[in-house]
Structure 1
């Protein structure tokens, strides 16, 4: 039964190499020796791919997903041995190893981001302690969404400007000229689609900087709260 399962789950070329092995244990040992050597090359390729992985204009979701796949495979290859006796020293060691691993992921993620997120990268690296890579991705993703919304608004405004420059009606129904009025704030000179409070402030504006700092603080608060809950669960489990 086991040997049949092995035959059915390997390619034809691999199957031919163990075709005359009648014992499942021997067949498994042959395959283990054969592919154990390849693991070193596979690890090297994954590490190289991870180092060379850059955003290069793709969406943040695509970039983060590609990086997560590599991380997952590397973690499977670098699995730690099972610990049967859990002491306080081992808990501290495991926690330290996890912090180092999370820091490495954060640096790899930030390193591959496009240069347009350089300011956000600097802000995240100044946080103490460092945020998790999930938190950093959340902050950058919010910025990406805001930029996409702003680009759409700017594009629509440009189309309207072109239409008016080509002889569109500048006035109201009675033909007299009038300034555009925002239905959101009541001010003149802009429309609701160009109202910064709705679409987001430009990067040079002080309000944008305050909002960004507040955004990081909110995400950091949720992250710290999650870590505190995890610690309480670990402590209750250990008791």
Structure 2
């Protein structure tokens, strides 16, 4: 009777211990009410090639749920008479279900009938971790061939780090097992060598615009750690992105020289259109920069675009409109002494073209002479229109849009907007020879199209635009047609450039002058505008198919196939 009572007491004690372990969150037998066998703990699922990354992720998931002991074999299988057997069986089946859910369907069929979760883990390890040597070789090849290209610095570094971590899991660095530990410092050197290798591998895969970081790191002795080099590269990336944003902003507003105020005054100086500092956004009436009248802007000026049918003219006309062109003083134009000096230096830097159009030159010089006679007493304080013919006669450079080129290349140093000398860079040409690159920089093809990382090769004979780099740098797409190639922004689809087909190649024109030729005084260009173009502008950019029905207007016999209206293209 006493023995039966003692057995009952012992059984109750075991039951109480078992219940307490089930309720203790620190116990491996504890299972939260939200756990279920249908959970997928890791993603992506295990396949034939990702065992090492999958096993690492699965181990972390099981450790977070306090179930890793059921996989590594530290919890032995209790006998069926043991009070903890049912708890072990419940947890084992839960972990086994998680493992089955964490592998691909084809692999899941091969482990579905294995009852012990530890046996499932061992089976997967034996089957998929045997090819460590081959996988290690593949990782080394991937690290060696990885380049930044179109990736950001963070994305490029992340891909490298994933490969480094996987390689370290397959072949970790040795650990000193000496007792007591040796003091030779060999392990410290091994770790430092591995860190230096990572730094050099990271730098070697960067794009050419990070050449400054490469040079700075190589000059530092000893080589800084990977974290510091990564930070230096990210700072330079932010600087480059900021510069690119400035260029994009400049493109959007048609900017061609750095100082927007000076640029505006410069164009107005050529056009003869000025307005005093200030604006009409504070309740004032808008003022036209062409005729000077209040109540409308230049885009709606009848004096510039033509009067509508039935317009009643007033008896008094503004005498100022009869003037072809005139110069304006510093006070009226809003120029400061520094801006005037900038303009003087700007015009002095312009190279006068050897071949000038006599008609344009004579008209320009005649206007300048007339202005000079009327304003001799303001000599030295006005911008002379004699520089307009220098601006107009700057020739353009021909560029070829090449889908097979990997880099932008130019043979003319004058094409650059900005550049810097480089050393140690060579390019393999299609004929198999290598040519040294002496400079690299930015090129402005038009007011809305810039390219960077352009290589200067003096011995080359052509100017090439890499189609792949153009689409990445300018965020655009190319539409190749039989007679031309259209360049449009990916956001909005605005036309930012065209390349015309000639002899099987697509050619683009780059004007060497810094601002748009369309901004030059219309009185100088009027002799070069055909009648059809003039009526196209006056009728609000009406298409030729509509203008051809107007019989009372003589469009002349000029062939208009070469006429391309930039405003119509940009409006699309």
Give the TM-score category using the shorter length. 0.5 to 0.7
Tell me: higher relative CO, structure 1 or 2? Use CA pairs within 8 A at least 6 residues apart.
Answer: 1
Structure ranking higher in helix proportion: 1
Deviation track 1:117-172 (CA, whole Å, cap 9, x = no partner) reads 22331221121101112211211221121122223234434535369449696542
Matches within 5 A, 1:173-212: 173=277, 176-179=332-335, 189=342
Task: Report the Cα distance in structure 1 between the residues aligned to 2:237 and 2:141, rounded to whole angstroms.
Answer: 27
Contact 1:171/1:177 (8 A) holds in 2: yes
In 2, the alpha carbon distance for the partners of 1:29 and 1:100 equals 35
* Residues 42 and 115 (structure 1), Cα distance of their counterparts in 2 relative to 1, 3 Å cut: same
Q: Which residue number corresponds to residue 135 of structure 1? A: 228
The 8 Å contact of residues 203 and 214 in structure 2, kept in 1 or not, is answered as yes
For 2:148, the equivalent position in structure 1 comes to 55
- Picking from 131, 138, 145, the partner of 2:238 is 145
1:182-203 deviation digits (Å, cap 9, x = unpaired):
9xxx99859xxxxxxxxxxx88
Contact 2:176 2:187 (C-alpha < 8 Å) held by counterparts: no
Shift of 1:63: 1.1
Q: Which runs of 5+ in 2 are unaligned?
A: 1-90, 257-262, 279-327, 344-417, 421-572
TM-score (norm 2): 0.29
Partner of 1:8: 98
1:25-174 matches, cutoff 5 A: 25-80=118-173, 83=176, 85=179, 87-89=181-183, 92-157=185-250, 159=253, 161=255, 164=264, 165=267, 170-173=274-277
**Contact kept? 1:180, 1:189, Cα under 8 Å:** no
Which one has a bigger Cα radius of gyration? 2
Match in the other structure for 1:223 = none
Structure 1 SS opposite 2:138: helix
Could you tell me whether the CA contact under 8 Å between 1:7 and 1:15 is conserved in 2?
no
**Partner residue in 2 for 1:229:** none
For the pair 1:19 / 2:112, whether they are aligned, the reply is: yes
Give 5+ residue unaligned stretches, structure 1. Answer: 191-201, 205-239
Structure with the bigger percentage of strand: 2
Q: Is the 8 A contact 2:95 2:117 kept in 1?
A: no
Alignment TM-score, normalising by the size of structure 1: 0.64
Deviates more, 1:23-32 or 1:124-133: 23-32
